[in-house]
Amino acid sequence: MGESLSARNIVKHYGGVVALSDGNLEVRAREVVALIGANGSGKSTMSKVINGVVVLDGGQLLLDGNPIHFPSPQAAKNAGIATVFQELSLIPQMTVAENIWLTREPLNSFGQVDRKAVKRRTEELLGLFEGTYKTALHPDASIASLPPDEKQIIEILKAISFNPWLVILDEATASLDSRQVQRLFDLVAKWKEQGKAIVFVSHRMEEIFRIADKYVVLRNGRTVGAGNIQDINEKQLIKLMIEKESVLGFLRGGAKSEEKIEKEVALEVENLTNDGLRGVSFKVHKGELVGIGGLRGQGQRHLLHSLFGDILYSGIVKLFNQEVRFKHPRDAMRRGFALVPGDRAKEGLLYIRSILDNLLLPSWRRFGFPLKVSNARTEATQVGSHLNLKMAGLDEPVSSLSGGNAQKVVIGKWLMRDPQVLLLDDPTKGVDVGTKAEFYALLTRLSSQDGKTILLYSSDDEELIGLCDRVLVMHDGMIHTELSGNTLTKENLIGASLGASQGDRE
């Protein structure tokens, strides 16, 4: 059993992007250290450095006071460090048991995997979360068939199966429901008694204050604060996390929901159903900025992508009272829709192509044959300055941009088409605080002044409250609650996200 791990002055960059410039962290046995930071602060990079998945460019790791270097994830494992990722380290085609025991399967005397022992020990592990499963989870289930919360639980079981002394929980509660989170925290308490150390990477304040003993705050790749959790409160933590308070204190001045309801209905959705949605119905008025809330993975992405024509659905969608059915994003685009997807690297950008190519991708057809590239460049430059895009030039690859600026490119390519309906999937994820403020101003202007209809999903409650006229909270593929005006509060949002029934709130 180890006793302590220190990370001092860690530096890490990915290509041109600096993820960590001065990361510091200390964790000891029998304590839970919360590693806190906004998106893009370097939290995940820190945990990846500690568990050997990425190479650090500068700084030092100390195990029990002795300098140590992890040349591979195996080395970190050997040192007794386990990490629970957000279900990224499971092999979908293999079973629960195979995934948990991979590389450490109990063997018989012939060097073969001892199947009976595997089954027995897997069942023991599964028993730790007994009572919180939705499906009949057994060792031979294939990972691909499991819902996200159970995949997450398997990740947790996998991490503790070799009895590590340090467990890193990297946003491990994101997919879990409240019962499972409680069970996890019970286990964490038990682990502390056994002498383990835990690093809890998260940005959920409520959970942090429930479970942590100490805290470390990262901001823009640097550790800006550390100490005992009892000596600090939520507001101070938030202040450490962000530079300007103004962003979170951002409240839209001027008219809110009441006036908007008088305007015409721009988008009407009736009983939208497919693999991820179980009958979603709602209306959005022209010029409204409606938010979608709820824990991640409850169907928000499905909703946005279905409306955009990317996923097939059954049900009715009406645009300005005319029924539409989009079979391909191109159809949706023709009717004035735009989608800013949730994962810009995978879904929103062509990473190795130039900024110009990215901005123009949906719009080339407008420029004739042969393409009048100079006109395209002019328009692209206009959009760029309109959005305050900081770039070296239109021909630079989009990979050279910071997160916030890259997201501007994604939004920019749609603004060039003057869309009527904007669908946004967590647009400020991984975006720095200054750019966030610019986005808020932009979205507000687009809806209030320009009369665009906006449907926005955000995993950030403050953002939803500050930006939106109304919020539709989704849970398990359906709209669970609609909050607006006085009912649009943080407590109600969280309650509705967790599936609490109407009567519990007020």
Partner 1 sequence: MNRSRWEVFTRRQPALFALVLLVLAVAINLIVQPHMFARETLNSNMRVFLPLILLAVGQAIVILAGGIDISVGGIASIVNTVLATRVGLEGSPAEMWRYVFISLIIGLLAGAINGFFIAFLRLQPIITTYATSFLYAGLALFILPNPGGGIPGNIAAFYRNSTPLHLPLAFYVIAVVLLIWSYLRSTRYGNFLYAVGGRAQAAYETAVPVTWVQFGTYLISGLMAAFAGLAITMLSGSGNADIGAPMTLNSITAVVIGGNALSGGVGGVAGPVMGAITLGVIQNIISFANIDTWWETLVRAVIIVVALAAPGIVNLFRRRQP
Partner 2 sequence: MAVVLFLLSGLLPNGFGSDLDVARAQVLNILRLAVFLGVIAAGQTLVIISGSEGIDLSAGSVVTLTAILTYILVNGANEKVLLALLVVLAAGALIGFINGVGITFLKISPFVMTLGMAGVVTGAIIVITHGSVTGKVAPIMTRLIARPLSPSLPIPNAVLIWILFGILIWLLLERTTFGRNLFAIGVNRITAKLSGVNVTRMNLLTYSLAGALAGFGGFLLVGNTGVVHLQLGQPFLFPSIAAVAVGGTLLSGGKGSYWGTMAGAIVLTLITSLLTTMQMPDSVRRMVLGGTLLILISIYGRQRALRQ
Q: Which two tokens stand for residue 22?
A: 């001065």
243 vs 331, which CB is nearer to partner 2? Answer: 331
55 scored as a contact of partner 2 (CB under 8 A): yes
Task: Select from partner 2, partner 1, none the partner in contact with residue 102, using the beta carbon and a kind-dependent cut-off of 5 to 8 Å.
Answer: partner 1
Which segment (145-153, 203-211, 338-346, 456-464) binds partner 2 by CB under 8 A?
338-346
- Considering only residues 87 to 106 of the shown chain, the ones binding partner 1 according to CB under 8 A are 88-94, 98, 102-103, 105
336 scored as a contact of partner 2 (CB under 8 A): no
330 scored as a contact of partner 2 (CB under 8 A): yes
Which segment (214-222, 327-335, 401-409, 458-466) binds partner 2 by CB under 8 A?
327-335
56 vs 157, which CB is nearer to partner 2? Answer: 56
Q: What is the DSSP letter of 355?
A: H
Give, in order, the Cα–Cα distances in Å from 305 to each of 26, 338, 380, 455: 42, 10, 26, 12
Q: How many residues bind partner 1 (CB under 8 A)?
A: 27
- DSSP 3-state of 368: coil
354 vs 497, which CB is nearer to partner 2? Answer: 354
Minimal distance, residue 188 CB to partner 1, in Å? 22
3-state SS, 106-131, equals CECCCCCECHHHHHHHHHHHHHCCCC
Which residue of 184, 290, 349, 454 would you call a contact of partner 2, by CB under 8 A?
A: 349
Query: What is the residue whose two structure tokens read 């195996």?
Result: 74
117 scored as a contact of partner 1 (CB under 8 A): no
Q: What is the DSSP letter of 95?
A: B
Angle at 203 between CA 275 and CA 201, to 5 degrees: 95
Give, in order, the Cα–Cα distances in Å from 499 to each of 243, 430, 496: 33, 27, 5
- Considering only residues 363 to 382 of the shown chain, the ones binding partner 2 according to CB under 8 A are 364-365, 369-371, 373
Query: How do 32-37 and 197-202 pair as beta strands?
Result: parallel
310 scored as a contact of partner 2 (CB under 8 A): yes
Q: Identify whether the C-beta of residue 449 lies closer than 8 Å to the C-beta of residue 259.
A: no
104 vs 263, which CB is nearer to partner 1? Answer: 104
Q: CA-to-CA distance for 464 and 278, rounded, in angstroms?
A: 23
Minimal distance, residue 67 CB to partner 2, in Å? 20
Nearest to 434 by CA among 13, 40, 16: 40
Q: CA-to-CA distance for 2 and 164, rounded, in angstroms?
A: 9
158 vs 344, which CB is nearer to partner 1? Answer: 158
Q: CA-to-CA distance for 303 and 478, rounded, in angstroms?
A: 10
Task: Select from partner 2, partner 1, none the partner in contact with residue 103, using the beta carbon and a kind-dependent cut-off of 5 to 8 Å.
Answer: partner 1
Residues forming contacts to partner 1 in the complex (CB under 8 A) are 53, 72-74, 77, 85, 88-94, 98, 102-103, 105, 107, 110-113, 142, 145-147, 158
